[in-house]
Structure 1
Amino acid sequence: MNDNLENIIKAIFEARYLKRIKRSGTSILLGSQVKESIPEHSFYVSLFGILMQHINPMLDLGKLLTMCIIHDVEEVRTGDLHQVNRLYYKVDPELMAFSDMWKGSKLGEKLTDIHTERHESKSSEAMASYDCDTLAELILEKEYLNQGTKEAKEWMEFTIQRLKTAEGKRIAEVIVKERSTKWWEEVKNQIRGKHNLPPKKYE
């Protein structure tokens, strides 16, 4: 397909600056120790997208993952607007920023349509992608709760209330019950077994 590759590459160069932008909402919630960048967050959102479609095969995986990957790309221009910021915005700048960033190509038009569909919650994939975004917040909050940040518990409760889909709520139940360090505890016991040491019990 013929397209304006120069404009597309220009947008991708711009998107690379996202790695320099730290997410603001979690910093307010959990303190300055949170250094997660926007691309890191989007990676976890995309992992939840794969899981969401695995639970509900009726979802279009390609569309859902596209929504998950690009959902915060415009924040290279707007910054990461957290819940407090949004109290003072009468017009949401995200759609305009996304469209401006990707204008001048057929791919940009396609991505803008998908981004708008998500923003307006016009499809099952859009609703699912919003829940994936929320689940990425929830798993970060659970990690910090397990590390001793007591305030994270209240925010987890708020985050769970924002979930819309049955799949999202089901995943959230597991996140709440699971220890964020369980994977490492199991690995440590594998290593202990390799050295003929008894497994250690964790609570």
Structure 2
Amino acid sequence: MKALARLLFEAGMLKKMPRTGYPFLGSGGESIADHCFRAALLGYLLALEVEGVDETRVALLLLHHDLAEARTGDLNYMNKRYCTVDEDKALEHATRDLPEATATRIKELAQEFNQCRTPEARLAKDADQLDLLIELKEQQDLGNIYAKHWIHYALKRLHTEAAKELAQAVLTTDWTDWWFEKRDDLWVHNHDNGDESVL
């Protein structure tokens, strides 16, 4: 249990470590853990729409796919032109004191994600990109003129039809649509009429 406790403190670093691409975009920002949470949720829900895919495995792949970044940090696309990371070594060191079965499981999940050979891994890879796409759409809606260029390339990295379909839905949805109802009774009159949907 001490080894597991240490790994959980290590995983907690992902809540403090930023994704490094946003300074190049000029706006936005999130931690690695922020990204992993929505990517895992996104992958799970997307997998429910695809016949024959293990949705739980997709979520597990995404929960573990950036665990090594607690040791390596996040390398954005510019960084990767000049730097390489030994993710296998990072995970080996992160898991070396865990029970063998647990360590093997963590490393297998990361390897499956990176190799992208199974249907679950392909969907997980797409969910990883879709999470970025959603962030980019938000930044575009907020006026970042460069986000459209990043969206162009994020779309080209998608492989599955389900991911491409979801991407089009994302791109035609305003980032505030989930909460901003254009209703006078909510925003002008400020009446609480007992409707639990009122903010």
Bin for the TM-score computed over the shorter chain: 0.7 to 0.9
**Retained in 2: the 8 A contact 1:131–1:164?**
yes
- Are 1:8 and 1:108, in contact at CA under 8 Å, matched by a contact in 2? no
1:88 shift after superposition? 1.9
Please state how far the C-alpha of 1:188 moved relative to its aligned partner.
5.9
Identity among equivalent positions (%) equals 28
1:7 maps to 2:3: yes
Tell me, in whole angstroms, the C-alpha distance in 2 between the residues paired with 1:185 and 1:64: 31
1:56 is matched by which residue type in structure 2? V
Q: Which residue of 2 aligns with 1:118?
A: 113
* 2:17 pairs with 1:21: yes
Q: Give the partner amino acid of 2:54.
A: D
Match of 1:133 in 2: 128
Paired residues of 2:15 and 2:31 also in contact (CA < 8 A): yes
Match of 1:61 among 55, 63, 83: 55
Q: Report the Cα offset of residue 69 of structure 1.
A: 0.8
Counterparts of 2:178 and 2:57, CA distance in 1 = 30
Query: Which one of the candidate residues 88, 91, 98 is aligned to 1:95?
Result: 88
| 2:168 match | 173
Q: How many residues align?
A: 190
Structure 1 residues 42-87: Cα deviation after superposition (integer angstroms, max 9, x where no partner): 1110121122111114111221111111111111110101111111
TM superposition shift of 1:13: 1.2
Q: Which runs of 4+ in 1 moved over 2 A?
A: 186-197
Structure 1 residue 187 displacement after superposition: 7.8
* Structure 1 vs Structure 2 CA RMSD: 2.1
Kindly indicate which of the two structures has a greater share of residues assigned to helix: 1
Confirm or deny: 8 A CA contact 2:65 2:109 kept in the other structure. Answer: no
User: Structure 1 residues 50, 96: CA separation in 2 closer, same or farther (over 3 Å shift)?
Assistant: same
TM-score using structure 1 length: 0.86
Judging changes above 3 Å, is the alpha-carbon distance between structure 1 residues 18 and 109 closer, same or farther for their aligned structure 2 residues? same
Which sections of structure 2, spanning at least 5 residues, go unmatched?
194-199
Aligned-residue offset at 1:99: 2.4
Alignment CA distance shift 1:194-1:128 (3 Å): same
